[in-house]
Amino acid sequence: SYVLTQPPSVSVAPGQTAWITCGGDNIGDKAVHWYQQRPGQAPLLVMYYDRDRPSGIPERFSGSNSGNTAALTISRVEAGDEADYFCQVWDSSSDHYVFGPGTKVTVL
Amino acid sequence: EVQLVQSGAEVKKPGDSLKISCTGSGYSFSTFWIAWVRQKPGKGLEWIGIVYPGDSDVRYSPSFQGQVSISVDKSISSAHLQWSGLRASDTAMYYCARLCSGDGCQRAYDIWGQGTVVSVS
């Protein structure tokens, strides 16, 4: 089965940039989606198909995907961005959906 | 407003059976796949399986095949997740999520339910 890897945690000062990676074998050939989960809340889609933002998601959020690494970048980080972030792909070989283990973003 | 509303928290004993629900509104329920996702306390998201309300087609993660049952009743716009014999290890938050449609979306989950807490002890 397809496996995704993420760093357990990322710490960033307010106003700086947070970079969250999602690793997988040739992940650049897949569509990667990102979810934000604030404490006590359901996940929220913040990026789909590598770099598209759903309506209502700030332009500070951007995405990329190439080779074996996808990334979610949060510019001008705010306190409200503190949350867990999960990447997700669809594995066509198994027709199953896979989530990464998640990255906790802490705003210092 | 497009939304998924899940049934309330459950407290059960090992061996009990349970069926939780997820009701969609504000969109054509029959034409979007609905997935179930487990999240154990302090842990990540685990994909359980997915159902297409239009024809009740169901797919399961190998990790959950045989452990749970996913069903749908499109007449009431509801999807269900069911256990026939709960275990303490089933204690978790369970989310339903809608799979967005169209090539531009590429199989992302765009709408999530609020979650149902299941406690087994």
Q: What is the mean pLDDT of chain B?
A: 96
Q: Which of A6, A38, A97 to mutate to test the interface with B (most CBs of B within 10 A)?
A: A97
Q: pLDDT (tens digit, 9 = 90+) per residue, B99-110?
A: 998 778 889 999
pLDDT > 70: percent of chain A: 100
Tokens linked to B48 = 């359980």
The mean pLDDT value for B4-9 works out to 98
CB of B36 closer than 8 Å to CB of B90: no
**A63: which DSSP letter?**
E
Tell me phi and psi for residue B82, to 5 degrees.
-135, 145
Tell me phi and psi for residue B74, to 5 degrees.
-70, -20
| CA end-to-end span of chain A | 36
CA–CA distance, A49 with A76 (Å, rounded to integer): 23
Q: Which of B60, B107, B110 to mutate to test the interface with A (most CBs of A within 10 A)?
A: B107
CA–CA distance, A97 with B5 (Å, rounded to integer): 22
Q: pLDDT (tens digit, 9 = 90+) per residue, A8-45?
A: 999 999 999 999 999 999 999 999 999 999 999 999 99
| CA dihedral over A72, A64, A68, A42, signed as positive or negative | positive
DSSP string, B11-32: EE-TT--EEEEEEEESS-GGGS
CB of A50 closer than 8 Å to CB of A64: yes
A31 touches chain B (CB under 8 A): yes
- Taking contacts as CB-CB distances below 8 angstroms, the residues of chain B near A1 are 62
What is the band of B47 on the pLDDT scale with cuts at 50, 70, 90?
A: very high
Query: What pLDDT, on the 0 to 100 scale, is given for residue B37?
Result: 98
CA–CA distance, A108 with A78 (Å, rounded to integer): 10
